[in-house]
Amino acid sequence: MEPLEKVLKNASKTITDVELQQILRESDYDRFHSEVEKLVASGALTPVKSSKKNGRIPPLFNKYRIVKPQEENTHYLEAIRRLNPVLSIAGYLHRPQLYKKHLQIVEGISKYLWFSQDLLARPMSRKERSFSVWGREKLLDEHLSLVKEVLKFNGLEEGFLNYYDTPEPFFEYLHERGELTTVLVIENKDTWFTFRKLMQDTGKNRIADTIVNVLLYGEGNKITKRGALEEYNDAMLSGEGRASRFLYFGDLDWEGIRLFFRTREANPSLELTPFSSLYRLMLERAAKVELPKSLDHRGVIGPLPEFLSLLGLAEGRDLMRLLAEGKYIPQEIVNYQVVANLLK
């Protein structure tokens, strides 16, 4: 190992001449003195003059300050220059270490500005926007303070990302009651809220040639409680408006598939099927983006062949491949703009 590497491995900011001699393992003082002088000349060490000299011939100082080399910033400078000009390129060039801190957030925003800036003109829910920009639906939840810091540094308003929060919803949204009532059970809150918001605002409730009368928020495992949907159907949709069928729409991952089957098994008297058109739309959109890795590492799979059969996908190779790779497609890929164009 070179003398410089030996010294830099030392965790302290300062080092004594005795410690230096031990680290360099040089018993001959003249050779040791020569090595220290080379390290001083290279800028790796600077003498702490207040420590005074050691009294030996030729003399060395009793203590030296270790000068850690600055991290190479060339790579960051090149990346900063490629940022979208809406962002503070000059600011990051002046402070490359701050760019390093902001890297994941600012690179996602820059790419969005280069290729999808028009999507900022219309709102999305928080998780939808998060997935749309960074490919992770929970990034805004997990790193909101850092995102706000990035926006502020770049002179952008907090509302720049144009997303809305989804308050804790009522369990259902009844759009209209009809003789043939179709209930759409939606797994995630943001997606439920987006469908509800647009159906309320536009009065439209036809999705892929299916008239949806009721939106039901599944609330995770709550929807899988035995008889929950059957009781809801009897108590809340009695009479002429009683549901003729239930459609299910959730994440395309192992847990989402298992949730669907557990819900169906818990309510055997109801017709519950996955909403094939929406799942197919998820797969179509997923082919154009980098998908996140699943956070579920339990390794528990679901009855995929039966699920694919219900979707009308004979092989479903794309879905099988991404699940095998440990990836998943969150519902939030079907965001506000997508639903706005979908509803008729």
Angle subtended by helix axes 254-266 and 228-236, to nearest 10: 60
The set of residues, in sequence order, having a beta carbon less than 8 Å from that of 74 and lying 6+ positions away, is none
**pLDDT tens digits along 74-115:** 778 889 989 999 999 988 888 888 999 999 999 999 999 999
Cβ atoms of 22 and 75 within 8 Å: the answer is: no
Q: Which domains does the chain have, with CATH numbers?
A: 3-66 (no CATH), 74-164 (no CATH), 172-342 (3.40.1360)
Give me the percent of the chain exceeding a pLDDT of 70.
87
Between the CA of residue 316 and those of 283, 307, 308, 312, 329, what are the distances in Å? 10, 10, 6, 9, 14
Residue 176 has pLDDT above 70, yes or no: no
**pLDDT tens digits along 255-294:** 999 999 999 999 999 889 999 999 999 999 998 888 998 8
Phi, psi values for residue 61, rounded to 5°: -75, 155
pTM of the model: 0.68
The region, left, alpha or beta by phi > 0 then psi within -120 to 50, assigned to residue 84 is beta
